[in-house]
Amino acid sequence: MARPQKEAYVLSDAEKHDLIQLIQQGKALLKKHLFILFGDKREVELVWNGKTREVCASTMTLVSVTIG
């Protein structure tokens, strides 16, 4: 069942400027920026060098992760 869509957040010119500056400087975005830009999607994917898409069901373990 899909979640109901929230209203889009409209960025002010100052917020747009701040985001552009952070991106151009290679700095991390604040959590509030991520939620504004991408919504409240709390999906996480772990990525590391050498990671493959291969799945081994015999060693699969569910891990609870809390973000925020």
pTM (two decimals): 0.44
The answer to whether residue 54 scores a pLDDT higher than 90 is no
Count of CA atoms in the C-beta half-sphere (13 A) of 41: 10
Nearest-angstrom CA–CA distance, 18 and 24: 10
How do residues 13-27 score in pLDDT, each as one tens digit? 998 898 899 999 999
Using CA atoms of 32, 35, 41, 42 in order, give the dihedral in degrees to the nearest 10.
Answer: 0
